[in-house]
Every structure is written in C-alpha cells, then in structure tokens.
Amino acid sequence: MVVQTERDDMTWFRCEACGLMFDDREEATKHEDNCDAEGPSYIQ
C-alpha cells in the first residue's frame, strides 16, 4: 500500500511494504506493483 506523507513542506508517497519514499505518486504505485517485500522488516 502506498501512503501519503508530508515532510519538509513536500508531499511524499511511501511504499508501506519496504519503506521506500517517492515524490511522485505514479512512481510509488509502479514500485508497489513490483515490490517483493513481504512486510516492513523493522516491525519484526
């Protein structure tokens, strides 16, 4: 899932699965389609 977040007066889009940040929603969505992370590793 892509989550929207604001930082430094900018809107970022973060891949919830792996934590990667994108400044473009399309990029984030495209990444998410290819993301093979099974879950945020920092939770485990």
Residues of this chain that bind Zn ion (CB under 5 A): 15, 17-18, 20, 35
- Please report the beta strands in the chain, taking only residues with DSSP state E, as ranges in sequence order: 2-7, 10-15, 21-22
At residue 9, the 3 state secondary structure works out as: coil
In the complex, what is the shortest distance from the CB of residue 8 to Zn ion, in angstroms, rounded to a whole number? Answer: 21
In the complex, what is the shortest distance from the CB of residue 27 to Zn ion, in angstroms, rounded to a whole number? Answer: 11
Contact between 21 and 13 under an 8 Å Cβ cutoff? The reply is yes
CB closer to Zn ion, 17 vs 27:
17
CB closer to Zn ion, 8 vs 38:
38
